[in-house]
Each structure stands twice: as C-alpha cells, then as structure tokens.
Structure 1
Amino acid sequence: MNVLASIYKSPKKNDMYLYLLKADRLSKVPQALSTLFGKPEHVMDILLTPERQLARVEPWQVIEALNTRGFYLQMPTPEDDYIEHLPDELLTRNDPA
C-alpha cells in the first residue's frame, strides 16, 4: 500500500521526526506528543511504498503506524543523545589536562 506522508522535525530535539498522513495534517497528533515535540517544522512530503528505503526504519513500519495511529514518531538514536552531552561531560571532568 502506498501512502502520501508529510514529515516534520522537532525544534526541541535533534533528529526527532514526526510522520503524518498528508491529508490529516496535524489532526491526529495527541496533545501530549504535541507538547513534547514542540511546534512542528515541515521538512517534506513523501510517497511511502513498501519498497522505498528510509534511513532508520522499515517503510512498512511507518505505513502501519500511519494507518493504525495516524502518526509515526522517529526518535533520535541513543548515540545522538550521548554526543549532545559530551561537551558538558568534558567540562566537568576532574582529570588534570
């Protein structure tokens, strides 16, 4: 099944993306998720097919979530969180330079 989706990025968290059915826009996003996500920034519209390659997830997983929940939330990888906090960790180290 092919699905026309819109992809939005979060202004609050790097590499957090929200996939929505283009026709539904933001109407299916729960309030709690909207608060966590922040004001969505439109990235692109995309035709999802089972054969289309996506960077971090299988397309059928996104299509299934869109058809059942109305949205798919792509979270940042744990490595991204580590890298974001690395400078703070280095600043608080007590090792002599």
Structure 2
Amino acid sequence: MTDPAKAARRARHDAIRAQVADEETEAAEAEAAENAATLDVSLHLRISHTLDAELRRRAAAEHIPTSALVRKLLAQAVRQHDACGLTAADVEEIARRVTREELHRSA
C-alpha cells in the first residue's frame, strides 16, 4: 500500500475514532445532566432477557445509556397515564351502566 493510501486510511480511522469519542462524551454529559437535575433513587426490578435485550438495542440506537432510556420511558408512561383521565362521556356511560345494573337487580 502506498504512503498516500496509508495516510488516507489512517485519517479516516482517526476521524471515526474522534466521532465515536464525541458521541460517547455527549451521552455521558447527557446522563450527568439528567442525574444532576433529578433525585437519584435506586429502583431494582427483574425483567426478562427479551425485554433487557430490547431496551439495550433501543438505547444503543438512541446513543444513550440503557438506564437513561428506562427513565425516559417510565416518565413518558407516567405522563400518559396522568393525561388519560375520564371524559364526561366516559362518566355518563359508567353512570348509565350502573343504573341499568341496579334496575336489573331490583326487578
């Protein structure tokens, strides 16, 4: 291999290493900022190997630590659950059903 070809290959490899180092630094900074902004409470749970693999795959795809992904998913789930309150139509339907059941029992 000629010297210019070696130099070009070495430059490409150096650029790739620099990019990976930048991504790792960004991920570490993001996790540090997240940890500094939140209370650190340990939560231990048992999950299946399949779920673990899926979480690790998704975290890698997002270039974030698995623990940061799990915190993000848990926060989203809690926010969505809180936003899923009953509508007026839901309450009215429940009231109609209860009334029908009470009338049926007393008949």
Per the shorter chain, which TM-score range?
under 0.3
Higher relative contact order (CA 8 A, sep 6+): 1
Q: Which has the higher helix share?
A: 2
TM-score (structure 2 length as normaliser): 0.26
TM-score (structure 1 length as normaliser): 0.27
The higher radius of gyration belongs to: 2
Q: Which has the higher strand share?
A: 1
